């Protein structure tokens, strides 16, 4: 999702710039001011509570704002993103927005601040008063709205500066110039956005070879925990020696080690369009870890793919592999093969079930030639890339 907040004093041009943003990026527009004016026009209880405050140029209570905004956001979970105009307007509302975004498993992508000196705001609002018919567009109320902005709304900027997602624009430029600057900012935000795919499938489903080929085609970093552990052993690193000890005593490698390696990989990888995870997460615990790791890096899972192949076909593929030089140590007997399939069923299927409730999970038919399956995967990924933009 692309979630944008337009920030700036009354009269900065937030409403005007919203129009092109909604069209160009297909965002769902939320203007708390407009929502409040609707409540007033419909003479609802909320509207009556807010009316006097708005007419005096004050800020409506955060409690009222939460009520009007929550329904709108949670009622549109399938939207491509939201455009907030006039929200958040207090430090508390910045936290409220964080909470709402978490509920939708997303985050605010950027805050764009249109900077305009007070006198310019006053002049623009007085001009607007001639046509807007808004009871709060008169000089005394305007001055009060600006005072509220200075005292209660300006501190919100720091909240987003600290998060590193605040962009400031000179709002006294022409409408077209401001629009161009906004476009540039959004382009930059989108280009930093990662496509993170988790690829599932039973052993033998082709997830490894398909994952590698997809990573190459779409400039994604392929993250497979098995080979990462092997590489550490090969490099004889401190972690590698520990892993070797565990392997030799037949123990599982604990999550602490796997997490360190994945975190190192995510932080050190540059200039890719995203990550493709294979073999991780394997358990529910690891699924929480991956969500946490990506969140720490300002990202999240974009797509979950489950490659489906009938069990008999899996056994026959793994058996065939065991007779080639691609034979893995765990392919050598039917007993081992069946054990791996059972292990997947027990530990990993619950992860896919959990992801179904949180992310886009796409089932791909894994039968047919490598190329046939690859094409099916490419189609899904390209669709996802389109929606990211």
Binding site for ligand AMP (CB under 6 A): 10, 32-33, 36, 53-54, 57-60, 65, 86-87, 89, 93, 136, 145
Nearer to ligand AMP, 152 or 282 (CB): 152
What does R_g of the chain's alpha carbons equal in angstroms?
26
Residue length of the chain = 389
SS3 state at 191: helix
- Residue 348 CB, nearest distance to ligand AMP (Å)? 44
**Which residue number, 124 or 145, has a Cβ lying nearer to ligand AMP?**
145
Residue with smaller CB distance to ligand AMP, 86 or 366 = 86
Instruction: Write out the two tokens for 76.
Output: 């549109």
The separation between the first and the last C-alpha atoms of the chain, rounded to the nearest angstrom, is: 9
- Within its chain, how far is the Cα of 340 from the centroid? 33
Nearer Cβ to ligand AMP, position 89 or 340?
A: 89
Nearest to 213 by CA among 388, 370, 384, 327: 370
Q: How far is the CB of 365 from ligand AMP (least distance, A)?
A: 48
Contact between 171 and 178 (Cβ < 8 Å): yes
Query: CB of 56: closest distance to ligand AMP in angstroms?
Result: 8
C-alpha–C-alpha distance, residues 46 and 55, integer Å: 15
Which residue's Cβ has the minimum distance to ligand AMP? 33
Q: How far is the CB of 155 from ligand AMP (least distance, A)?
A: 14
Smaller CB separation from ligand AMP, 56 or 285: 56
* Cβ neighbours of residue 136 closer than 8 Å, sequence gap 6 or more: 54, 55, 57, 142, 145
Nearer to ligand AMP among residue 31 and residue 225 (C-beta) = 31
DSSP 310-335: -HHHHHHHHHHHHTSTT--GGGSSHH
* 3-class secondary structure, 200: strand
Closest contact distance (angstroms) between CB of 140 and ligand AMP is 13
- Minimum distance of ligand AMP from residue 59's CB (angstroms): 4
Q: Which is nearer to ligand AMP, 65 or 290 (CB)?
A: 65
Decide whether 64 or 197 has the Cβ nearer to ligand AMP: 64
Residue whose pair of structure tokens reads 């690891």 in the numeric block: 286
Least CB distance from residue 2 to ligand AMP, whole Å? 21
Phi, psi of 62 (to 5 degrees): -60, -30
E strands, 81-194, are: 82-85, 110-115, 166-170
* Shortest reach from residue 224's CB to ligand AMP, in Å: 46
Alpha carbon distance 384, 389 (integer Å): 9
CB-based contacts of 38-42 (< 8 A; 24+ apart in sequence): 39/68
Closer to ligand AMP by CB, 61 or 363: give it: 61
Sheet of strand 4-7: strand arrangement: 28-31, 82-85, 4-7, 110-115, 166-170
- When the beta carbons of 125 and 258 are compared against ligand AMP, the nearer one is 125
Handedness of CA 104, 160, 66, 183 (dihedral sign): negative
Cβ closer to ligand AMP: 31 or 205? 31
For residue 16, the SS3 value is helix
Identify each DSSP E strand in the chain by its residue range: 4-7, 28-31, 82-85, 110-115, 166-170, 195-201, 220-224, 274-278, 303-308, 361-365
Shortest separation between residue 10's beta carbon and ligand AMP, angstroms: 5
- Taking the complex as a whole, the smallest distance from the CB of residue 226 to ligand AMP amounts, in Å, to 50
């Amino acid at each position: 999702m692309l979630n944008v907040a337009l920030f700036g004093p009354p009269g900065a041009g937030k409403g005007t710039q919203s129009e092109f943003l909604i069209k160009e990026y297909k965002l769902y527009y939320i203007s708390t001011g407009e929502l409040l004016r609707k409540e007033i026009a419909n003479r609802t209880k909320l509207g009556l509570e807010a009316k006097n405050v708005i007419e005096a140029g004050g800020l409506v209570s955060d409690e009222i704002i939460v009520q009007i905004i929550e329904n709108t956001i949670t009622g549109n979970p399938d939207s491509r993103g939201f455009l907030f105009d006039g929200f958040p307007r207090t430090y508390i509302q910045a936290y409220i927005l964080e909470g709402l975004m978490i509920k939708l498993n997303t985050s605010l992508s950027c805050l764009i601040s249109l900077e305009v000196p007070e006198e310019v705001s006053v002049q623009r609002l007085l001009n607007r008063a001639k046509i807007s018919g808004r009871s709060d567009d008169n000089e005394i109320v305007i001055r009060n709205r600006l005072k509220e902005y200075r005292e209660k709304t300006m501190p919100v900027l720091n909240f987003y500066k600290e998060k590193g997602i605040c962009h400031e624009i000179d709002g006294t430029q022409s409408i077209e110039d401001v629009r161009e600057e906004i476009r540039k900012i959004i382009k930059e935000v989108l280009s930093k956005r990662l496509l993170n795919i988790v690829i599932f499938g039973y052993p033998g489903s082709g997830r490894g070879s398909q994952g590698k080929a997809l990573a190459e085609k779409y400039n994604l970093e392929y993250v497979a925990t098995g080979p990462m552990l092997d590489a550490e052993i090969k490099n004889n690193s401190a972690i590698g020696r520990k892993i070797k000890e565990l392997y030799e005593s037949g123990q599982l490698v604990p999550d602490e080690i796997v997490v360190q390696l994945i975190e190192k990989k995510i932080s050190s990888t540059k200039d890719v369009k995203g990550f493709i995870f294979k073999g991780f997460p394997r358990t529910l615990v690891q699924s929480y870890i991956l969500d946490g790791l990506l969140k720490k890096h300002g990202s999240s899972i974009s797509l979950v793919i489950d490659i489906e192949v009938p069990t008999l076909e899996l056994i026959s593929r793994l058996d065939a592999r065991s007779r080639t030089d691609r034979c893995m140590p765990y392919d050598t007997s039917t007993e081992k093969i069946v054990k791996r399939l059972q292990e997947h069923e027990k530990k990993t299927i619950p992860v896919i079930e959990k992801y179904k409730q949180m992310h886009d999970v796409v089932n791909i038919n894994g039968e047919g030639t490598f190329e046939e399956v690859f094409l099916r995967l490419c189609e899904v990924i390209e669709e996802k890339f389109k929606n990211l933009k």
